[in-house]
Amino acid sequence: MAQNYYQKEIETMPIEEMKKLQSEKLVKQVKHVYENVPYYKSLMDEKGVTPDDIKSIDDLHKLPFLTKADLRDAYPYGLLAKPLEDCVRLHSTSGTTGRRVVAFYTQHDVDLWDDCCARAIVAVGGSKKDVCQVAYGYGLFTGGFGLNGGAHKVGCLTLPMSSGNTERQIQFMTDLQATILCCTPSYAAYIGEALKEQGYKPEDIPLKAGIFGAEPWTEEMRQSIQDTLGIKAYDIYGLTESTGPGVAFECSEQTGMHVNEDHFFAEIIDPDTGEVLPEGSKGELVFTSLDKEAFPLLRYRTRDICVLSREKCSCGRTLIKMAKPMGRTDDMLIIRGVNVFPSQIETVLLKEGYEPNYQIVVDRVNNNDTFEVNVEMTADKFTDKVSDILAMEKSLAGAMKIMLGINPTVHLVAPKSIARSEGKAVRVIDKRKLV
Amino acid sequence: MAIKQLTVFVENKQGTVVSITDTLAKNNINLRALSIAETQDFGILRLIVNDEAAAEKILSETGYLIKMTDVVGVKIGDAPGKLTAALKVLDENDINVDYLYAFMARTEKHAYVVLRVEDNCKAEGILEDAGFHLITKEDIDKI
């Protein structure tokens, strides 16, 4: 694919130049935070760091971390760095665990965010000739407004569908010949199934590309969405705390996401010690905003486990790449001493032809961890013979053992008996009481 | 020749079977024979009904996982040793029976046996050659 860039100078900037730009921006950003956010100033004071200690991006490690707990403590205005009268927008996380997190935006912040999403759309081949169907939720959730803003900047005809009402999604997609679909990967898969049920073949679907994010998904799921919709499916990464989708985006190579590092500087740290790890190491992803006005976060710990890489990319972008997050520090289970990420179970299920709908149940019986995985039976695999079904359970457990190194007990359960991921599905039930 | 068996995946949960039979009853579907194979996790409900196409449609729409399976039905005399005779013939011809269930005819003096084997045609040929009478869809309707 011939490469187009939305902001070529930044996206293909030589690394040394980028470092200089990041350093200049960081010095200003730290000063802005120190002067306007008493909450972070006190964290810096505690650590004995002043803005004068931060002279370049190499000094970043001197700054204290921010965590989700800080954001909750500081709710709602504690991390705001601009007067409210300068703010034009607010977004919020779903707040499933306790207090919500709210993030504020000035017009400058919205513009910067829209630029990030515009880069993502152009990177998947989007231009003003495209019809971009945004089926992320519009509202407090950042998905809808983020991609909407990016699509406007690129000049696409933007269909602000929001999520849900699949019948209407399909009608607009086919009547208006949408070429780019933006939504969560699970909703893309759902729309794909609905199109298939209505008799659409991949070649009848006008879409050419999809930008899917806001929830973890696997390579196998990418393949299955690409096959059903007849498109290229691209990943996008973001978090409300930083801005929303577009913090990092995938290019034609589909081998990880370029971080918009002129706005968001990425580090990988050891989640236990907080020490910065060298490039290529697996650890917790930490983001520092470099030029935000209303809600600048310095060294925010995302809890996503991930790897960064500066290998040369065939798309010509020099922006550092992050791998698909392998899981979250707080999703990781330790079962019989082995680290298990739910995403690994999903990978096995898709590879073996099951729906990626599962529930892990962990318990401790006689000082031993029990590890059970409930998986939905599919119409293709169902047979009338008990022995066949028992063999399927055994073979699935075997495939999981190869992936995880420990052996689960697999139970096949009735279709649709495990809650769907419309809300937040409960994937893990840990009954161990270790206190 | 084979007859149709409806196979339903059921979770080992209280009330599952009754909700299936209730759904069928409300749609005026009559059960001819029924068997359940159960494990600790799940059960497989096997049904012979008067209208399998309608039953399949109703149960799928209700959300059950259904599979239509061809099985062999054979009529045997109602006397000791009659079932053994039928099974012996199959065994002598190396036909492995995965499962079977039997039910009595209402008026006549014989029983019906439903057999699940790998190769229906072969099993039917062997049974017929040995003088057994196979059950047809018409027989089921008359039960």
- Structure confidence at residue A5 as a pLDDT band (50, 70, 90): very high
CA distance B31 to B22: 11
Compare all CA atoms of chain B with the CA of A384 and give the residue at the minimum distance. B7
In this prediction, residue A93 carries a pLDDT of: 79
Quick check: A380 contacting B, CB < 8 Å? no
Dihedral angle over CA of A157, A158, A164, A167, nearest 10: -10
Q: Are residues A309 and A348 in the same domain?
A: no
- Structure confidence at residue A428 as a pLDDT band (50, 70, 90): confident
Parse chain B into domains and list their residue ranges: 3-69, 70-142
B67/A384 Cβ within 8 A:
yes
Give the lowest-confidence range in A83-87, A105-109, A169-173, A363-367: A363-367
In this prediction, residue B73 carries a pLDDT of: 93
Which stretches of A296-382 are DSSP H helices? 342-351
Does domain B3-69 correspond to CATH entry 3.20.20.150? no
B116/A414 Cβ within 8 A:
no
Quick check: A77 contacting B, CB < 8 Å? no
Q: Are residues A181 and A281 in the same domain?
A: yes
| Residue range B53-96, pLDDT digits in tens | 999 999 998 889 999 999 999 999 888 898 999 999 999 999 99
Q: Are residues A162 and A235 in the same domain?
A: yes
The boundaries of the domain holding residue A85 are 1-327
CA distance B30 to B32: 6
Give the nearest partner residue to B39 out of A383, A390, A415, using CB atoms: A390
SS3 A361: strand
* Mean pLDDT on A44-64: 97
Q: Are residues A319 and A244 in the same domain?
A: yes
B46/A384 Cβ within 8 A:
yes
Answer yes or no: is A213 within a domain: yes
Compare all CA atoms of chain A with the CA of B40 and give the residue at the minimum distance. A411
Written as one string, the DSSP assignment of B69-132 is EEEEEEEEESSTTHHHHHHHHHHHTTPPEEEEEEEE-SSSSEEEEEEEES-HHHHHHHHHHTTP
Domain final position from A327, A361, A380:
A327
Compare all CA atoms of chain A with the CA of B16 and give the residue at the minimum distance. A414
Residues B43 and B50: beta-carbon distance below 8 Å: no
Q: Measured between alpha carbons, how far is residue A303 from residues A49, A127, A201, A322 in Å?
A: 24, 34, 40, 14
* Mean pLDDT on A251-279: 96
Pairing outcome for strands A244-250 and A232-239:
antiparallel
Residue at token pair 């995302």: A302
The shortest C-alpha distance from A418 to chain B (Å) reads 12
Q: Are residues A278 and A400 in the same domain?
A: no
Give the nearest partner residue to A377 out of B37, B65, B99, using CB atoms: B65
Mutation target among B10, B11, B62, B116 for the A interface, most CBs of A within 10 A: B11
Compare all CA atoms of chain A with the CA of B68 and give the residue at the minimum distance. A384
| Residue range A266-277, pLDDT digits in tens | 999 998 899 999
Q: Measured between alpha carbons, how far is residue A214 from residues A144, A182, A423 in Å?
A: 11, 11, 13
Pairing outcome for strands A327-328 and A300-309:
antiparallel
Take residue A356 and report the two structure tokens written for it: 């990626």
Domain final position from A327, A344, A359:
A327
A60 or A221, higher pLDDT: A60
Q: Measured between alpha carbons, how far is residue A296 from residues A19, A27, A283, A354, B80 in Å?
A: 19, 13, 23, 42, 87
Separation of first and last alpha carbons in chain B: 17
Q: Are residues A302 and A377 in the same domain?
A: no
Compare all CA atoms of chain A with the CA of B5 and give the residue at the minimum distance. A384
- Looking at the structure of chain A, the number of domains it has is 2
Domain final position from A309, A327, A345:
A327
Quick check: A409 contacting B, CB < 8 Å? no
| Residue range A308-345, pLDDT digits in tens | 999 999 999 999 999 998 877 777 787 887 778 888 89
- Structure confidence at residue A422 as a pLDDT band (50, 70, 90): very low
Answer yes or no: is A382 within a domain: yes
Q: Are residues A50 and A117 in the same domain?
A: yes
Q: Are residues A411 and A290 in the same domain?
A: no
By the 10 Å C-beta count (0-12 exposed, 13-18 middle, 19+ buried), A435 is classed as exposed
CA distance A60 to A45: 15
Q: Are residues A415 and A268 in the same domain?
A: no
* Mean pLDDT on A205-234: 92
| Residue range A156-176, pLDDT digits in tens | 999 999 988 999 999 999 999
The shortest C-alpha distance from B10 to chain A (Å) reads 7
CATH of the domain at A312: 3.40.50.12780
Equal fold, B3-69 vs B70-142: no
Answer yes or no: is A435 within a domain: no
CATH superfamily of B70-142: ACT domain (3.30.70.260)
Q: Are residues A264 and A357 in the same domain?
A: no
Chain A hits for B10, CB-CB cut-off 8 Å, are: 414
* Mean pLDDT on A222-236: 96
Answer yes or no: is A373 within a domain: yes
Compare all CA atoms of chain B with the CA of A387 and give the residue at the minimum distance. B98
Q: Are residues A217 and A157 in the same domain?
A: yes
B41/A382 Cβ within 8 A:
no
- Structure confidence at residue A420 as a pLDDT band (50, 70, 90): low
Written as one string, the DSSP assignment of A178-209 is --EEEE-HHHHHHHHHHHHHTT--GGG----E
Dihedral angle over CA of B21, B27, B29, B35, nearest 10: -20
Q: Are residues A238 and A378 in the same domain?
A: no
Chain A hits for B67, CB-CB cut-off 8 Å, are: 379, 382-384
Between A and B, how many CB-CB pairs are < 8 A?
50
The answer for residues whose C-beta is within 8 angstroms of residue A19's C-beta and 6 or more apart is A56, A57
Q: Containing H/E element for A144?
A: helix A142-154
A385/B99 Cβ within 8 A:
yes
CA distance B87 to A352: 37
